[in-house]
Homo-oligomer: A and B are copies of this chain.
Amino acid sequence: MMDRPLMISQIIEYAAGSYPEQEIVSRTPEGGLHRYNYEDAAKRSRQLANALKSLGVQAGDRIATVAWNTYRHLELYYAVSGIGAICHTINPRLPVEQFGYIVNHAKDQYIFLDLTFVPLLEKLQGLFEGVKGYVVMTDRAHMPETSLPNVMCYEELVGEQSDEMAWPEFDEHTASSLCYTSGTTGNPKGVLYSHRSTLLHAFSVLTIPGMNLGEESAVLPVVPMFHVNAWGVPYFAPMVGAKIVFPGPKLDGESLAELINNEGVTEAWGVPTVWLGLLGHMRKTEQKFTSLKRVLIGGSAAPRAMMREFQEKYGVEGLQGWGMTEMSPIGTVSMIRPKDADLPLDRQFDIKAKQGRAVFGVEMKIVNDDGQALPRDGKSFGELLVRGPAIISGYYENPEASAKAFDSEGWFRTGDVSKIDPEGYMEIVDRTKDVIKSGGEWISSIDLENEAVGHPEIAEAAVIAVHHPKWDERPLLVVVREPDSQLDKQGVIDYLSQRVAKWWLPDDVVFVDELPHGATGKLQKAKLREQFKDYSLPEVGG
């Protein structure tokens, strides 16, 4: 067979050839909506590729982006990877030190940034060692006064260039993009994707039965393009001619609701936090969704209550996805199989509360502490290990982290503790670092949190282990109440008593104004443990 490499540039050219008129709509940082189509996107990607070459960008160079989900970011995805350079997407919410660390660790040469981030980058640029210049992703009219050195205007850079470009072909294992993990459990670690892994991941997603994406789909990636390539949306949507709706900087409930209904969005992908905001807005304004069919909820556990609200109030199917930066990211998807479609809704939510079944291309096993495989009985749990062509073989220039991340057969250790049931549904019990070891038994901090947030007056909840002289570790529940709630400890315990085993009940409940979140919005339990390091349980300390 022909030795044709899988190349990211093939995607945008295929879309331009097969679905030239299909729309890409973006809310822009300048304000307002921008519209164009796949033909335009391909042309502009070629122009941008020529511009990168004119800047001296070579194959293998790292080009950073600090940007929202917009058409310009899409162009960067295709142009940078297309010429064999590496598109390094940076999460702008990273703490300052991590931001500096990442840019220097990746040896980024140019940074492309949205208008929004000019002040941030002005503040940070002193930290960067090898950055040659900055490109503000806007037109001349919107270019700000800035102290950024060697600053350029995106539209000027691109506008001068020819839109002809014979994309180079090279080994499909060549690196195409770089993303660091969320830093939930420690310092972010770099993950380098290849052209091959990117295309195979897109194929995996598109072959999930029931996804049925096509020209009639309009996909809204709320998950940021700086977070694992927006879960692959920018790659798989063009392959099937789906419309893409980019939310730009506005991720609040009102803005999302407006975009979804105005643009006929059929599928929206994002983390639970954004859906909380969206549902809150819908509730308040008593709106309905007019086109939305499906919401993929991932990155953290999808609360049952959220899936139920989507389904029962709006007829929108909530799916759960589990994945990792290290996995490109999608590993499993939880959706109702045809045979289960007539189950009572409650049973359906039981199923969807699990993280889901492996997509084609991902193999999973759970192992005990000795590395021995555990049965898929829905009861045994242990660390989850995975294998597949879109899963890392090591972290980017990080031998220490890499050394710990694989078993002797080369399977990747996810750091998640889980069960797998006989139907193949994987269920996250906890992170290996967060599970509470109480008297030799394990308590899932996640399960406890999920039950707690089911209480109507609890806005957010976190469970961490605190030291206990007899049981070694016991759960402490930290709660953020809904505004105006007077809920107290006893009320929480009473509520939980009806829902969890007695020995799972938290030994104490503490109310706080907010919980620490990382750059992708996840609870940072390491920080929380730090905050509570001097805490001692009432009946022990008092």
Residues in B with CB closer than 8 Å to A209 are: 213-215, 240-242
Q: Mark A389-401, 1 if CB is under 8 A from B, else 0.
A: 1111100000000
Restricting to A2-42, which residues have a CB under 8 Å from any CB of B? 2-6, 14, 17-18
Which residues of A471-494 have CB atoms within 8 Å of chain B's CB atoms? none
Residue A196 at the chain B interface, CB threshold 8 Å: yes
- A241 contacts across to B, CB distance below 8 A: 209
Given A209-B240, A240-B209, A360-B14, is A196 in contact with B389 using a C-beta cutoff of 8 Å? Answer: no
**In the complex, A216 has a CB within 8 A of chain B:** yes
Interface set of A (CB-CB < 8 Å, partner B): 1-6, 14, 17-18, 173, 192-194, 196-197, 200, 203, 206-207, 209-210, 212-216, 239-242, 328, 337-339, 357-358, 360, 387-393, 410, 412, 424
Question: Is the pair B212, A393 in contact by a Cβ cutoff of 8 Å?
Answer: no
| Closest Cβ–Cβ distance, residue A239 to chain B (whole Å) | 5
- Compute how far the CA of A391 lies from the CA of B391 in the bound complex, rounded to whole angstroms: 27
Q: List 14 A-B contacts (CB under 8 A).
A: A1-B194, A1-B389, A1-B393, A2-B387, A2-B388, A2-B389, A3-B173, A18-B358, A207-B239, A207-B240, A209-B213, A209-B214, A209-B240, A215-B339
Closest-CB distance, A293 to chain B (whole angstroms): 14
Cβ–Cβ < 8 Å partners of A328 in chain B: 1
A1/B196 in contact, CB under 8 A = yes
Chain B residues within an 8 Å CB radius of A1? 173, 192-194, 196-197, 328, 389-393
Q: Is the CB of B6 within 8 A of A389?
A: yes
Given contacts A14-B360, A18-B358, A239-B360, 19 further A-B contacts (CB under 8 A): A1-B192, A1-B193, A1-B328, A1-B390, A1-B392, A2-B392, A2-B393, A2-B412, A3-B389, A4-B387, A4-B389, A4-B391, A6-B200, A18-B357, A207-B240, A209-B241, A209-B242, A215-B338, A216-B338
Q: Is the CB of A391 within 8 A of B360?
A: no
| Complex-state Cα separation, A6 to B200, whole angstroms | 10
State which of B6, B203, B412 has its C-beta within 8 Å of the C-beta of A207.
B203
